[in-house]
């Protein structure tokens, strides 16, 4: 099953135009390495997104494998965030 719904070049374009990159991994995973300028919002805290994320800007979520970011995308969509993309695994953007 393909969890990623945005390509690397598309993600770069979204981010260059003000999109928000969101890391939904746990704190220990985040401490092992992250992507510059990403927002750390663990999946378990995703319901607090309204305090962190701008609902008018596109959001790109990622995690270790893509499964949690897929969940985060569904939750954010259910909360009213319209422009949410799942980049999938952190390695997807690191390999761009």
pLDDT tens-digit series, residues 34-93: 999 999 999 999 999 999 999 999 999 999 999 999 999 999 999 999 999 999 999 877
**Given 46, 53, 63, 84, the catalytic residue:** 63
Residue 79 lies in a domain: yes
Q: pTM for this structure?
A: 0.92
4 — pLDDT class (breaks 50, 70, 90): confident
Rounded Cα distance, 49 and 46, in Å: 5
Domain count, the chain: 1
Tell me whether residue 8 is one of the annotated catalytic residues.
Answer: no
Q: Can you tell me whether residue 21 is helix, strand or coil?
A: strand
Q: Can you tell me whether residue 24 is helix, strand or coil?
A: coil
Backbone angles phi, psi at 21, to 5 degrees: -100, 125
Nearest residue to 75 via CA among 55, 46, 39:
46
Residue 59: per-residue pLDDT: 98
CATH code of the domain covering residue 74: 3.40.250.10
Residue pair 54/81 in contact (Cβ under 8 Å)? The answer is: no
Residue pair 48/63 in contact (Cβ under 8 Å)? The answer is: no
Residue 2 lies in a domain: no
96 — pLDDT class (breaks 50, 70, 90): confident
**Residues of the domain holding 20:** 8-95
């Amino acid at each position: 099953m393909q969890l990623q719904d945005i390509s690397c070049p598309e993600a770069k374009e979204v981010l260059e135009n003000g999109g928000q990159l969101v890391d939904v991994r746990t704190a220990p995973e985040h401490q092992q390495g992250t992507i510059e300028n990403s927002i750390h919002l663990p999946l378990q805290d995703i319901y607090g997104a309204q305090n962190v994320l701008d609902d008018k800007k596109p959001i790109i979520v990622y995690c270790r494998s893509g499964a949690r970011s897929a969940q985060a995308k569904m939750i954010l969509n259910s909360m009213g965030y319209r422009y949410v993309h799942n980049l999938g695994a952190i390695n997807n953007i690191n390999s761009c």
